[in-house]
Amino acid sequence: MEYWKDENEPIKAFVKLFEAAMVDDELTGGLKKVNQLILFDYTENGPNCSFWVDCRNGELKVGPGKPAEEPDMTMSLSADDAHRSWSNKLNPVMAITRKKIRVKGSATGLLKLAPKLKKVAAIYVTVLKDLGWEDKILA
Amino acid sequence: MNGNTGKIINVDLDKGSIETEILPEEYYTKYIGGSGLAAKLFWERGNISADPLSPEAMLIFMNGPFAGLRLSGASRNSVAGRSPLTGNWGDSSCGGYFAPELRYAGYDGIIIKGKAGKPSIMLIEDEKINILPAPEYWGKGTDEANRAIKEKYGKNYRTLIIGPAGENLVKYAIILNEGHHAFGRAGFGAVMGSKNLKAIVVKASGKNMKLADPEKYEELRAELNPKIKEALASDVMRENGTAANLEGGVVSGDVPIKNFTSNYWEEMGQELNGGILTEKYLTKRRACAYCSIACKRVVEVKEGPYAIPEGPGPEYETITALGSLIGSMDLAAVCKAGRVCNDLGIDTISAGGTIAWAMEAFERGDITEKDTGGIKLLWGDMATVIDKILPEIAARKGSLGMLLAEGSLSAAVKTEKDTINYTVQSKGLEVPMHDPRGGGHGLALAYAVSPRGACHVASPMLFMEMGACFYPEIGFEYELEPMTDENKAETAVIAVALGAIENSACFCQFADREIAIPEWVGLFNSVAGYNWDAPDMMKAGTRVFYLKRLINYLFGRTAKDDALTPRILEPARDGEPEGVVINFEGMKNKFYELMGMDPVKGIPSRKKLEEYGMGVEAKKVWRET
Ligand code: SF4
């Protein structure tokens, strides 16, 4: 991995990112509209390298690993590409076309998040700073 | 012949003659079908000096080689000829159900000349082809005429129908299939109207298809149909239609607002997107023949001032052209305005573009109530658009109807003021609903060099810039940054060839994004037996592009006409692209150089034409040198 020293680091950063997003008014609204249980699967970088976000029924929850229920959508990619993606440095359409991102299930909800990606990237920078990982911030 | 039938119908409405003809196979191997083959036939047989609305004008309908072959997105049809709106080469593509039925009846296309003595329809039932007087349908909206025709002949008879706008020669009149699917652009509904032809109706009794390698084709089809169906973009469009990502488009500055004066309107994005359409008004999803994407919408607005019964719903272009472009974020009103346009037989893009220009002109005082017959043209006033403006345009009635019925450029010229600057068009065709300042700078180049005028489907540039294409076999494996001019001319060289292939094969851009280059080649070879490799296929695409350029040259169009009006080239005033300027001339010059096109004449050099097997054509345009 180019940005992470082990499989735990990205999950720590991404779970924190969603925890921060869940207290941001604008993003909370956007996330609730997604209304899906999503699995972010980075297991190509390690068996435990995954986390889930549950935006169903007006609630917002996030956790490491795999969810207890079957996800509505699974996004599989590398932890490095995920880092680029949350940093708004990876064109998601291009990544999907080139099979860097593989999506299983309905992606309609995901589109509702697309307009908010810039905001997510801003929060991600703060999260990386809070974790003392300034060196991981992509210019 | 394989794949294609090789047979077309020639109709002379002056003489009342109908003849069938077998075309030389070389026409297909060089120009494929669809709009490419139509261009070849126009080049050979068209009267260049004929007014597009005169009896001498040719109206050409042409299928691609895959029509009726049960492949997703591959059963579209092209209409082509000289556009009454622009005076240039024009073509327009339509999904729906006409192409397969025509193919099953035994024909690849129809060429119509002349003018019927009275309102008529053309009826094709296999070998039985008749022109029948049909004054009873004249004056009727497309919906009523479609129902009446189907009632008389049978619901499985496939129809192409014009509305009152076509009959009244509105220069952006459409031709509608099954009352839902449109040949929308360039005004061929008016050409049909000028020929006193209300409808073309077709029914086949069998489905005889001869393919070069049926087994290979079936193998490919079995791979491609699920691939197209299961693609992420297909899933999204099936769920929420082509406006599924409108909100994302607003954020990037791609969605035009108030005649392209703004690139950002957040609330509008939240109100007009495909998800909201699904939630509020969608009753059914529909597809063109054999397409598993099913991006078409059926909607019903149950109550309120814009209530409409269940019927065809708007797609992205209509939602934007009759919504944000004219200052509205009322989705019910947009649904109704789209329905009214369909029924009157008007292109929603040119209608929106022309009305948006008029609204700005009214706001600036460049046109007044004196010019509009007392109608106030105010941003977002949908009641006036629906109840007054659209009906007056379709009827060419009143001073406003007369002013706007020939499109924005013509209307601007009529004002005798400096209003052309804020028409948003290229070669007289109103720009579709993607603003290159926010959608991608390469799109500005694609709009300008497109033979029919500003067009987002003449090439897949929009998709290439957004990252939805990857074609390493033909050199498109690099990433593009939409908001720069970097590599855009190089990309346009590939894009114009691919676009010509798509439009000649009559394949839907939404479906064929999933088809890799070797699969494209495999389709042509297994269906039509062309024995192509990828360079052969690309060469055919470029050849089609070149031929359309040559036709435009004969119409007097040159390099200076590959232009955009200032509005698109001025810095965006707000939103994500605020302040950004497009390096249009730089991209255009480079594109010309790469395509071997003369910087003054705007056509390929003699040498280039010869390289593409177009020596005969070269002689016609380069005879003086
Ligand atoms: S994607 Fe939509 S427009 Fe294209 S062929 Fe399928 S249903 Fe028709």
CATH number at residue B337: 1.10.569.10
pLDDT for res B624 = 58
Q: Do B420 and B443 share a domain, yes or no?
A: no
Q: Do B57 and B168 share a domain, yes or no?
A: yes
Q: How far apart, in whole angstroms, are the C-alpha atoms of residue B406 and residue B440?
A: 29
Residue A107 scores a pLDDT above 90:
no
Nearest residue in chain A measured CA to CA from B250:
A115
Q: Do B436 and B419 share a domain, yes or no?
A: no
Query: Residue A133: inside a domain, yes or no?
Result: no
Query: Residue A138: inside a domain, yes or no?
Result: no
Q: How confident is the model at residue B245 (pLDDT cuts 50, 70, 90)?
A: very high
Average pLDDT over residues A88-114: 86
Query: Residue A17: inside a domain, yes or no?
Result: yes
Q: Residues in chain B whose beta carbon is closer than 8 A to a beta carbon of chain A?
A: 232, 235-236, 239-240, 244-245, 247-248, 250-251, 269, 275, 466-470, 479
- Per-residue CA distances from B12 to B55, B197, B490 (Å): 9, 12, 44
Q: Which has the closest alpha carbon to B4: A114, B26, B17?
A: B26
Domain that holds residue B349: 241-424
Instruction: Write down the mean pLDDT value for chain B.
Output: 97
Q: Do B414 and B511 share a domain, yes or no?
A: no
Query: Residue A1: inside a domain, yes or no?
Result: no
Residue B249 scores a pLDDT above 60:
yes
Q: How far apart, in whole angstroms, are the C-alpha atoms of residue B24 and residue B59?
A: 20
Q: How confident is the model at residue A70 (pLDDT cuts 50, 70, 90)?
A: very high
Query: Residue B11: inside a domain, yes or no?
Result: yes
Average pLDDT over residues A61-87: 95
Query: Residue A51: inside a domain, yes or no?
Result: yes
Q: Do B420 and B445 share a domain, yes or no?
A: no
Q: Do B605 and B515 share a domain, yes or no?
A: yes
Query: Residue A137: inside a domain, yes or no?
Result: no
- CA B226 – ligand 1 centroid, Å: 15
Query: Residue B101: inside a domain, yes or no?
Result: yes
Domain that holds residue A44: 8-127
B510 lines ligand 1 (CB under 6 A): yes
Q: Which has the closest alpha carbon to B79: B39, B132, B120?
A: B39
pLDDT for res A26 = 82
Q: Do B63 and B186 share a domain, yes or no?
A: yes
Q: How far apart, in whole angstroms, are the C-alpha atoms of residue B355 and residue B430?
A: 11
Q: How far apart, in whole angstroms, are the C-alpha atoms of residue B193 and residue B579?
A: 45
- Per-residue CA distances from B552 to B42, B86, B264, B544 (Å): 11, 11, 36, 13
pTM for this model (two decimals) = 0.96
**Minimal-distance CA residue to ligand 1 atom 5:** B73
CATH assignment at residue A102 = 3.30.1050.10
Structure tokens at A114: 């697309």
For B494-547, how does the pLDDT look when each residue is reduced to its tens digit (9 = 90+)?
999 999 999 999 999 999 999 999 999 999 999 999 999 999 999 999 999 999
pLDDT for res A108 = 79
Q: How confident is the model at residue B625 (pLDDT cuts 50, 70, 90)?
A: low
Percent of chain B, pLDDT > 90?
99
Query: Residue B214: inside a domain, yes or no?
Result: no
Q: Do B399 and B438 share a domain, yes or no?
A: no
Q: Do B488 and B517 share a domain, yes or no?
A: yes
pLDDT for res B208 = 83
Q: Do B182 and B126 share a domain, yes or no?
A: yes
Average pLDDT over residues B422-429: 98
Query: For residues B101 and B153, is the Cβ–Cβ distance under 8 A?
Result: no
Query: Where among B404, B424, B444 does a domain terminate?
Result: B424
Q: How far apart, in whole angstroms, are the C-alpha atoms of residue B513 and residue B491?
A: 16
Q: Do B372 and B506 share a domain, yes or no?
A: no
- CA A106 – ligand 1 centroid, Å: 19
Query: Which among A94, A96, A114 has the least Cβ separation from residue B248?
Result: A114
pLDDT for res B61 = 98
Query: Where among B155, B182, B203 does a domain terminate?
Result: B203
Predicted complex ipTM: 0.87
Chain B residues with CB under 8 Å of A114 CB are 245, 247-248, 251
Q: Do B434 and B378 share a domain, yes or no?
A: no
- CA B193 – ligand 1 centroid, Å: 27
Contacts of A66 (CB under 8 A, 6+ apart): A39, A50, A52
Q: How far is CA B484 from the centre of its chain?
A: 27
Average pLDDT over residues B315-328: 98
B94 lines ligand 1 (CB under 6 A): no
pLDDT for res B444 = 98
- Per-residue CA distances from A107 to A30, B124, B242, B440 (Å): 15, 43, 14, 24
For B378-414, how does the pLDDT look when each residue is reduced to its tens digit (9 = 90+)?
999 999 999 999 999 999 999 999 999 999 999 999 9
Number of domains present in the structure of chain B:
3
Number of domains present in the structure of chain A:
1
